[in-house]
């Protein structure tokens, strides 16, 4: 009988002094616009508690090209800028680039 009294008193003391409380946190779904179809889908997913993918808006149309080379991290690699003296005149593209470079910087 005394063991039951000790167990009940321990449980009561433990429940009264247990200070951690858990509150349900809801995500802020007001940041999703309902003007577009994708925004509406994002808002519905947010209200259901599902993860919403953040979309990156392309800065220019060239970013949407699927054939463009990308780095290992998935970012679009930038063109390498070649100095004027390394451009050859064997192909048409390099010839035009060398002429533009010479015109721009005044090299001969």
How far apart, in whole angstroms, are the C-alpha atoms of residue 84 and residue 101? 6
Output the pLDDT for position 81.
74
CA distance 77 to 68: 8
- What is the structure's pLDDT at 44? 92
Position 63 scores a pLDDT of 63
Q: What is the mean pLDDT of residues 79-103?
A: 80
Residue 108 has pLDDT above 60, yes or no: no
For the chain, the residue count is: 108
Per-residue pLDDT of 25-80, as tens digits, reads: 778 888 888 898 988 999 999 999 888 888 777 666 666 666 766 666 666 666 67
pTM of the model: 0.37
Non-local (6+) Cβ contacts of 62 within 8 A are 68
Report the alpha-carbon distance of residue 82 to residue 93 in Å, rounded.
13
């Amino acid at each position: 009988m005394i063991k039951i009294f000790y167990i009940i008193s321990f449980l009561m003391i433990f429940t009264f002094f247990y200070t951690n409380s858990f509150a349900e946190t809801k995500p802020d779904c007001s940041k999703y616009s309902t003007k577009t179809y994708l925004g509406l889908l994002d808002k519905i997913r947010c209200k259901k508690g599902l993860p919403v993918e953040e979309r990156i808006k392309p800065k220019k149309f060239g970013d949407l090209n699927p054939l463009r080379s990308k780095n290992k991290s998935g970012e679009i690699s930038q063109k390498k800028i070649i100095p004027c003296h390394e451009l050859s005149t064997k192909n048409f593209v390099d010839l035009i680039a060398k002429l533009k470079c010479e015109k721009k910087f005044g090299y001969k």
